[in-house]
Every structure is written in C-alpha cells, then in structure tokens.
Chains A and B, each alone.
Chain A
Amino acid sequence: MSEPESTTVGKRGPELGMAGVLAAIALVVIVDSLRVGIGWADDGPRAGYFPFYIGGLLLAASLAIVVGELRHWRQPDPPFAERAQLRSVVAVLLPMVAYVALIWGLGIYLASALLIGYFMRRHGQYRWPATVAVSVGVPLLLFAVFEKWFLVPLPKGPIEHLIGL
C-alpha cells in the first residue's frame, strides 16, 4: 500500500491486521459474556463464566502479537507474499465467491458446471469440447452419487425444477 514500485507485500500489515481482528473478536466475546453474566447464580457458574476467560486470553495473546511486531519495527519488513502471487490468489478467490452466490440462484449443479468451465477456459486454456465434457460430466457424476446412490439432496435451482428433478 505504501510503496507502489515494490513487488512484494510486507508481512507487518497483515500481521497487525489479523491481531486487530482477533482482539476485536476477543472484545465481542468479553462484552457478550458480561451481558449473560460471568459470576455465579443459584445453580452454579453463569453462561459467561468460561467464555469470559477465553476472551481475556485471546485479547492478551493478540496484544502480545502486536507488541512483538512493534518491537521489531526498525528491522526490515519480511515479505508476506509477492503481488503477482496475491493476484493469482484473488483470481481463485473471486470465482469461489461468485460460485457460492450462484449456488443460491442456480443450484449447485449448474453453478459447479460454470465454475469448472471457467477454470478450464481461463486458467487451463482448454478447447471448448474438453471444457464442456468435463464441466458437464462432473456435476452429472455428482448427481448420480449424491441424489441417487446416497440419497442426499443438494441445492437445486430453476433449471432442475423445470425438468422435474
């Protein structure tokens, strides 16, 4: 974020960010434990009794990580990952997010076919016949295994309803 010419992303930012997220979670745990009560009721410890200490330890651990980072502040920042590497991670992560969103609308079979097709075309440079064969074949196989063999229903969308499955 700081130096635009650098090809790597430093570790310090992600490190502090993660510790911050953990500290925030710890605070949520502590606050919610206080809400349900951390002391004793007539019948023994209340619901927040145990989580309160968990939250406290999590907060202490994340603060220790922050302090550890700050102590090495003057030393050079070790790399987290190269920018190109992060780009290829995002290139997988975004289709995954889109895939999960598509399952909602289209059902899992059609969404899976689209995901496999996208990967094969985009990352594998396959020709259309191979792409179509794999991306249609795998969901059909999954359909046979899950719906027919193990009788586990998976999410379906309008297309499946249209052909009456």
Chain B
Amino acid sequence: MEEITNLMHGFGVALTLPNLGFMLIGLTLGVLIGVLPGLGGANGVAILLPLTFSMNPTSAIIMLSCIYWGALFGGAITSILFNIPGEPWSVATTFDGYPMAQQGKAAQALTAAFTSSFVGALFAVLLITFLAPILAKFALKFGPPEFFAVQLLTFCSFVGTSKEPPAKTIASMMLGFALAAVGMDSVTGNLRMTFGVPELLKGFDFLIAVIGLFGIGEILLTMEEGLAFKGKSAKINFKVVWQTWGELARHWKTFLRSTAIGCWMGITPGGATPASFMSYGMARRMSDDPQSFGKGQIQGVIAPETAAHAAGTSALLPMLTLGIPGSPTAAVLLGGLLIWGLQPGPMLFVEQKDFVWGLIASMYLGNLVGLIVVLTTVPWWAAILRIPFSVIAPVIIVICAIGAYTVHSAMFDVVMMLVFGVVGYVFKKLRYPLAPMVLALVLGDMAEASFRQSMLASQGKLSIFWSNPLVGGITALALVILLWPAVQRARGWARSRGAAPVGDPS
C-alpha cells in the first residue's frame, strides 16, 4: 500500500505547527467568507491568493484549500438560520434547513448539515487518496491529443449537464476562451487583440474576473433584493450533537447516495451546486414520505450538504492529476499552483510528493478541524450576519478592490473588476452560467497549446482525436455528453408526437 505510506508522510508535512496554524486561519476565514454575501469560495481564495505569493507552496495550498472547506461549511449556517444561502450550493439546504430552524430545531439542522458536509468530504478525500495516484500514473502516458480530448470532455459536460440553455453555456465559455487569447501568443510571439493598449499585453487575469463576477456581481444582486437579515439564533450543545448523530446514523443510505452523486459531479465538472440539487431531488424521490420534504425533513438537509461537500472536495481530483479543475474554486487553486511555480498535472505526483500528499493529508485534518470549529462557534457567525448590509457591503467592495489591485499592483485591474462585476450581474439575471467562463479563462492557454500541438503532429487533421482507442474513447464520450440533452429532447418530442397530441407547454 504505497498510498498509505505516502499519506503518512503527508500527515508529517501537514502536522507541523505553522501548517496547523495556517489551517486554522484558513478555516476561520473560509467560514467568514461563506457566511458573508458577496464573498464566496472562489473569489475569497482569489482575493487572498496574492498574499501567498511569497509563502511556501505547501503551506499556501493548505491555507487556501482550508478557506474552501470553511466556505463550504459556512454556507450552511446562513441557509439554516437566515434562509439566505451564503453560497449557491447551499440553496437546496434552505428548503428543509430553514423550516427546521423555524420549528426550534436549528441546532439539530446545523449539526446535521455540518456532519453531512464532513462525511461527504471524508469519502471524497478517501477517493482522492486512492484514485488520484492511479489516475496520475495513467495520465503520464497522455500526449497533447489526449489532454485536449480531456479538456473537450470538461467543456462538453458543461454544455450537456448544465440547467442553463446550451447556447448561453457555449457563449459564456467562448467569451472565456476569447478573453484568455488576449495578449501575446506564447508560440508565435504575435500580439492578439491588444489594439495597441499596453495594459492588454499581459491579457486578462482570471483572478480579476473571479473577483468581479462573483464578488461585485453578487453585491449588485444582493442589493437588488434589498436584503434585511432576519434570522433565528442557535446554540449547539453536546447533548444535541450526540442525539442528532444517533438520528443521522439511521440515514446511512441517504449519505451513501449523496456521496456518490457528489463525487461524480465533482470529478466531471458539474460542480457542487447542481450536485446539491440533484441529491436533494433523489432523496425526495427515494423517500418513503416525499410529502415531508420542504417542511423540515432532516434528510433534506443531509442530502444536499453531503453532495455539495463531496463535489467540492472531489473537484480537486482532476485538478491535481490532470490539471483540469472541476469547479471555479478549484480553478483558482490551479491558478495558484501556476503562480507558485508548480505545473499541475500527472508529474506533480512524481516531482512534488511533499506538496501533493501534504495537501491530501490536510484535507482530512482540515475537514475534521473544520467540523469542530463550526460546531463550537456557530453563535459567533450568526452574530456577524446581524451586522447590517449597509456596513458589510462597502467593506466587501473595499476588500474586492484591494484583492484585484494586489494581483498585479495595477489600477487597470480594479477597473476591469468593476466591468466584470456588471457582466456578472447581467449574466446572472439572464441565466448565463459563470463557471464555464472562468474555467475557459483559466484553461484557455492550455487548451490552445494542446490543440495546436495535436494539429502540428497530425498536420492539421482532426482525425488525430480518433487515432487510438484512448483518445478516441475520451473524444467519443465528450461528444455523447455534449449531445445527450439534444437526443433526449428529440426522443421526448418523438414520444409526444406518437402518443396523445396534448398541447406542449413550452
């Protein structure tokens, strides 16, 4: 069991005093970010990334990934106590979490949510521990065509699985690619789409896009709803935790199902948000008493939280092994790797053992410490939400501006952040998905490089993507996922034509 030895070594790296300190700082900041509207996992990590440039990469990734875990935990607090999802993936948690809080069972709901998050994450980390080395070894054989095929799979599954209209998913994605192409072309040295503007030479940084799209855009959306926080308060004591755990043990089937959904959606870049909805829907459908959902059913808290955390965690698997992030936050962490001088992808497991296994060990520790931290400090976080939005909003705007400025010490970036903020607001209102744009912006150069290298090898023939079973299989899978919704719609249409010609509502 080579993995166990490596993992033990990783615990040795993660369990040093400074790294434990960074873990705690990361978790606390993460919960804070998860609780506050306008700051989320992705832009929270993006804002703090520049502060880690001078840090040792292992400590830096431990801190930043702990921010991510903290944000995943924090999202549940606002959902349950205030009926306001702090994060998109905790929307489904409000369906049953808030009714539970209204019935005076806030402590049970919170305990259930945190425990579910922990269980989901634990399974996902176990999956990473044992699957990642195998996948990395496998991926070492990949050449440019295989890498491009995997990237194609990533982007096709966005189009195929997202709830948004396919044209809008593609538009958002292509906008990301187009922005990624701005600046100097690394192969030929040509300047692309800079139009003589010196600020555009280095292109658009995805960190700025993330801060603008998710941070400023979210503030504008929150302002539109005119938020007034009215929430329940909660104190968790040990007795309630113990009783709730006893009750949770009876729902092990829901846990298993939700974990499976979450891990699948995290590895294929569905992300935590669709995973939580899908898991909630499955739990309701499989339940003996579907009517009780939405009225304070504890399974309605378990299912989305387990799946969201499992998806959020397993999104790091393709990032570490293939260099392809499964979620916007994983994309930001990937950007961090590049900035710290590490090349994500299969070689990471060979060349940077300390880093990889330290990170994986810190996932176990971070989620355990995170569970304890949130269980003991819930009243504090609830108190933060009582600070009126008229104070929190400008402070968040200031933090976003500082975050955008520190990336390159450039005022141009702060202006771009505002532009991205408005784009984010309009995109959200018109149901354009934001994640494909961010991922395209991050992966744009890599996807272009592997495509060009493939074309160079084949002298411009697309048939290279079918040249061997491996690359052909991935490409075929990508196309199937891409076209799946269209096939289903065609089948539904054919059936409705064949059966009774009832007026179609759409």
* Residue among A11, A19, A54, A108 making CB contact with B405, cutoff 8 Å: A108
A28 to B181, CA, bound (A): 12
Q: Hey, which chain B residues are within 8 Å of A85, CB to CB?
A: 224-226
Minimum C-beta distance from A58 to chain B (A) = 4
Specify which of B174, B190, B397, B422 is in contact with A54 (CB 8 Å cutoff): B174
| B397 to A, closest residue via Cβ | A96
In contact, A88 and B226 (Cβ under 8 angstroms)? yes
- Decide: A100 and B401 in contact? CB cutoff 8 A: yes
Binds A, one of B243-251, B364-372, B388-396: B388-396
B390 and A155 form a contact (CB under 8 A): no
**Which residues of A does B touch, CB under 8 Å?**
11, 14-15, 18-19, 22, 25-26, 28-29, 32-33, 36, 40-41, 43-51, 54-55, 57-58, 60-62, 64-65, 68, 80-81, 85-86, 88-89, 91-93, 96-97, 99-100, 103-104, 108, 112, 115-116, 118-120, 122-124, 126, 134, 138-139, 142, 146, 150, 152-155
Question: Which of A61, A93, A146 is within 8 Å of B220, CB to CB?
Answer: A93
Q: Is the interface of B mostly helix, strand, loop or mixed?
A: helix
Choose, from B311-319, B374-382, B449-457, the stretch at the interface.
B449-457
The answer on a CB contact under 8 Å between B224 and A89 is: yes
From the candidates B50, B181, B422, B425, name the one contacting A51 in the complex (CB within 8 A): B181
What are 19 pairs between A and B in contact, CB < 8 Å?
A14-B426, A25-B175, A36-B185, A45-B460, A50-B181, A51-B192, A54-B178, A58-B178, A61-B174, A65-B165, A68-B165, A85-B225, A86-B224, A88-B226, A89-B223, A108-B398, A116-B391, A142-B398, A152-B51
Docked CA distance A115–B395 (Å): 9
Chain A binder among B123-131, B276-284, B332-340, B409-417: B409-417
The reply to whether A142 and B224 contact each other, CB–CB distance below 8 Å, is no
Q: Are A45 and B455 in contact (CB under 8 A)?
A: yes
Asked if B402 and A100 make an inter-chain contact with CB atoms under 8 angstroms apart, the answer reads no
Cα separation A93 to B425 with both chains bound (whole Å): 11
Residue A47 contacts which of B190, B226, B394, B430 (CB distance < 8 angstroms)? B190
A-side contacts of B224, CB under 8 Å: 81, 85-86, 88-89
In the bound complex, do residue A116 and residue B394 qualify as a contact, i.e. CB atoms below 8 Å apart? yes
Most chain A CB within 10 A, of B224, B225, B394, B456, is at B394
B171 at interface by CB-CB < 8 Å: yes
Chain B contacts of A64 at CB under 8 A? Answer: 167
Task: Specify the chain A residue showing the minimal Cβ separation from B194.
Answer: A32
Quick check: B405 and A154 within 8 Å, CB to CB? Answer: yes
Give B149-190 interface residues, CB cut-off 8 Å to A: 165, 167-168, 170-171, 174-175, 177-178, 181, 185, 187-188, 190
Please give the distance in Å from A14's CB to the nearest CB on chain B.
Answer: 6
Among A60, A93, A97, A154, point to the contact of B402 (Cβ < 8 A): A154
Q: Which residues on A sit within 8 Å (CB–CB) of B418? A: 96-97, 100
How many Å from the CB of B48 to the closest CB on chain A? 10
Q: Are B406 and A152 in contact (CB under 8 A)?
A: yes
Report whether B405 and A25 are in contact in the complex, using a CB–CB cutoff of 8 Å.
no
Is B391 within 8 A of A36, CB to CB?
no
Check A61 against B394 for contact (C-beta < 8 Å).
Answer: no
Which residues in B have their C-beta under 8 angstroms from that of A138? Answer: 395, 398
Asked if residues B402 and A45 are in contact (CB atoms below 8 Å), the reply is: no
Residues of A within 8 A of B426 (CB): 14, 18
> Is B15 in the interface zone, CB < 8 Å from A?
no
Distance (Å) between the CB of A160 and the closest chain B CB? 15
Asked if B422 and A93 make an inter-chain contact with CB atoms under 8 angstroms apart, the answer reads yes
A20 to chain B, nearest CB (A): 12
Contact between A44 and B398 (Cβ–Cβ < 8 Å)?
A: no
Given the interface pairs A22-B171, A47-B185, the reply to whether A116 lies near B50 with Cβ below 8 Å is no
Instruction: State the CA gap A109–B224 with chains docked (Å).
Output: 27
Taking A88-B226, A146-B402, A155-B405 as contacts, is the C-beta distance between A22 and B188 under 8 angstroms? Answer: no
Contact present for B188 and A47 (CB under 8 Å): yes
* Cα A89 to Cα B429 with chains together (Å): 12
Cα of A85 to Cα of B178 in the assembled complex, Å = 32
Contact, CB under 8 Å: B170 / A57: yes
Q: Which of B174, B175, B414 touches A100 (beta carbons < 8 Å)?
A: B414
CB 8 Å contact bits of B185-202 with A (1 = contact, 0 = none):
101101111000000000
- B39-56 to A contact mask, C-beta < 8 Å, 1/0: 000000000001100000
Cβ distance B479 to chain A, nearest Cβ, rounded Å:
15
B66 at the interface (CB under 8 A from A): no
For the complex, give the distance between the alpha carbons of A58 and B418 in Å.
23
How distant is the Cα of A142 from the Cα of B398 in the complex, in angstroms? 10
- Least CB distance, B182 to chain A, in whole angstroms: 9
* A64 to B169 Cα, complex, angstroms: 12
Give every chain B residue within 8 A of A88 (Cβ-Cβ).
Answer: 223-224, 226
In the complex, the answer to whether B390 meets A120 with C-beta atoms within 8 Å is yes
* Cα distance A126–B394 in the bound complex, in angstroms: 14
How far does the Cβ of B155 sit from chain A's closest Cβ, in whole Å?
11
Could you tell me if B391 and A58 are in contact, using CB atoms closer than 8 angstroms?
Answer: no
Closest Cβ–Cβ distance, residue B443 to chain A (whole Å): 12
The CA-CA distance from A56 to B420 in the complex, in Å, is 23
Tell whether A119 pairs with B398 under 8 Å between CB atoms, given A18-B426, A51-B178, A58-B171. Answer: no
